[in-house]
Structure 1
């Protein structure tokens, strides 16, 4: 409480900054308004001279000085005292300068500490209410109780309102700073997330290169070697036609392998359609081949995601459906694509015969799906039991595609 009474009634600078230009020039503007209104009814030269001196005083002590001088408590008090004195003289000469006297309430609320602001507000209230009744001395002598009551109530209302406004503004400013800090932290977290995603993507590219190298060595290179061997042996062999047919069969197999490897690099469906439409196409073609109905459900805010994320989800869907066709013996399959705020989740469930995940030991293509998800900082889970169907779930960061 002591720190409050030694502070100011002004709101914090962050919330008050928009109002500072107005409060800075409020007193000079109201003084000029009073002069114009008084001039309409005929202002005497003496009053006009006092108004001119008051305007110069306000400009030199309140309007024109730099911010660091106007924030000085002593300068504020001196500026207020001069303005209040000039307003009292002007109002005593012409009651129309009550308009200018009102600005002294705003100047009083700028005083520090708070007791000085209360005293300045009470002095302004006393003068503005008694100068029209012969001045403070005469008014208090004739109707002391009435004027004291009015001054106390008016001062209490103004100070109470200023205290409430200052506290509300301080609360708003504190919340604004908290929101700004949270936004900055969220942006920093997003930057770190993008950095980790990029690192994981680079690691995934290296893994993919190594996988392709192994595939080329294990399939294409060996297949080409077999073709060469068969063709060389066919030159002088009595079973030449059989060896040529064998070489042709090997060539076709290797062509299929090459096409499969190329398809693994870039899903063509994603170059034409959104991820949900691409999955719908994959599921529809799979259902036509197998005769097993597939229901695709999409939830959440569908939005373009990073190509690596979409490609990974598409490949996991293809592998999961392939597993269902090979092993599940299912009568129905459900695929769910869920877009959340920072995650995208794929679930593939079937009502097939199920299996024991603990005894799979790398079968059913599960390690490949798990590795695909892990490369993008995602997770992969399998739920199944004999006779109870199977559910696979992959969850990846919902990294938005670059615009």
Structure 2
């Protein structure tokens, strides 16, 4: 295959550009389907060519009249070629297309006046009217083309009396009414289609938003279920730890105490002392195992970290999840505490942070753990919107038991929980749990 020259490539590119411009323009002007492109680019020339041949074959009379007809045919072809075919960029300009259509109707009317068979060119006028003229200019264009078509159809009606003129007017009226009615129906159908497409697009968009919301809700539901399962597991582990501590461990401590008291009484025969020592040793080993079981049942955050480190980890994860800065501060010398005390303070911090995420609209949170004389203090302060007194109550069925559970847990350890807030001044949750030095030793 012979490669194209630079000139041939340029001509091909320009030809492709004109074809793309035509398709784009037909799709834009009047909202017409691009499949109608042949009706406005090929059909008018084909009809005009056939009518020109008919004129050459059937025209009888002076050569001058034939030349006038041929000149009008050529002018019509050149008008369509220059104003429409060669300049597709003009198709989207209603003013230019209006001038083109008016000139085409005038040329067609002049041809119809000379020979009635040129009335077959009026379908080309209709093609252009429906293809390129926007509403309401389309209605005026269709009416003008209908007048030309009616003139051609009434060519055989004599107009030398009132009856002839009445018949002529009736033909014109029928053409105008029928074609304008069709144009109106076509426009209303097109408008309804556009409205339907717009409504369907809105419905699709709404469905997409609804699906996105449902997906988000499903994700939140899964998170809530996971948190509920985790909370249930942790609560059950803590309950088991308390049961072991309060029953088995305390019972073993009592047994060890009684055995030691019996050994020290001096009334035990020497042959029994070895058994008492073995029983005491076994009780101590069982107590150590019970205490290891209690430690193993501590919350996950407290398994490998002290309370301060566990609070820092919880705060970091919450900050990443919600995009709110959290500053964690520990004051005083850290000292060991009972597992239930650690768990209560950890749960209080988690619930306070959860309330900040749900209600506060805060930009920062300060979490402070203080080891004070005789007590452990936990303060969670946010710079959010706050609330007045009394605090707003949760909606029925909407949850809201976190603060109540937090208070019950803290008060169950003989501690106190206070919530201080004011509109625009943020909220502070303060938990205080007794922690004497003797407790740490225990």
Please give the TM-score of this superposition, normalised by the length of structure 2: 0.40
Please give the TM-score of this superposition, normalised by the length of structure 1: 0.43
Bigger Cα Rg? 2
- Structure scoring higher RCO (CA < 8 A, sep ≥ 6) equals 1
